[in-house]
Structure 1
Amino acid sequence: MNKPFRNRFSGPRLSPEEAARQGRATSLAFDTLGKSDAVIAFLNTDDPALGGRPLDLAIASPEGLLSVERALAARKTA
């Protein structure tokens, strides 16, 4: 029998803290870079200076979010 209202997502869920950091990084990227293509590229492309994908780093820890914030601030002033 088909269950149309079952939860089909079976991947890991973000904690509230991780989701908040993800949202903060995304919002800052949009504020800094403006265009959605640029934001997506920045957040999802491995950055050797940061040591990984900015979105992954921001989600992983408060320190990672801080490094992403600093990278975006440097792009804003450049």
Structure 2
Amino acid sequence: MNKPFRKRFDSVKLTKEEAERQGKAATLAWKAFPEPGAAVAFMNEHDDALGGRPIDLVVASEEGLRAVEQAIAARQA
């Protein structure tokens, strides 16, 4: 007997607030760094000045989002 297909979700699910912060930061990064791969690299690589990966910081807190927003603004100047 075949079991019906069920999609498994093994990854961590973000809360609504976490997803909103992540989306906002990603959009800012894509606008600030339009070169292919630049926004993805910025969001996913460890940043010494921020003390972590920007994507992790924005998901973790509103303060992390503000810090990442400031870092993006500083790199555009």
Considering the TM-score relative to the shorter chain, is it more than 0.5? yes
Point out 4+ residue stretches in structure 1 off by more than 4 angstroms: none
- Specify whether residues 48 and 76 from structure 1 end up closer, same or farther in structure 2 by C-alpha distance, changes over 3 A only: same
Residue type of the alignment partner of 1:25: A
Task: Say whether 1:61 aligns with 2:56.
Answer: no
- Structure 1 segments unaligned to the other structure (5+ residues): none
Which has a greater percent of helix? Answer: 1
The residue identity in structure 1 corresponding to 2:75 is: R
Cα RMSD after superposing both structures: 1.0
Deviation (angstroms), 1:36: 3.7
CA distance in 2, matches of 1:45, 1:60: 16
2:4 aligned partner, one-letter code:
K
For the 8 Å contact 1:30–1:36, the answer to whether it is kept is no
Give 1:2 shift. 3.8
The aligned counterpart of 1:26 is 26
Deviation at 1:76, TM superposition (A): 1.0
Aligned to 1:45: 45
Residue identity (%): 49
1:33 offset after TM fit, Å? Answer: 0.4
Q: Deviations over 1:7-53 (max 9, x none)?
A: 22222210000000000010000010012410111000000100000
**What is the TM-score with the length of structure 2 in the denominator?**
0.92
Q: Normalised by the size of structure 1, how large is the TM-score?
A: 0.91
Number of corresponding residues: 76
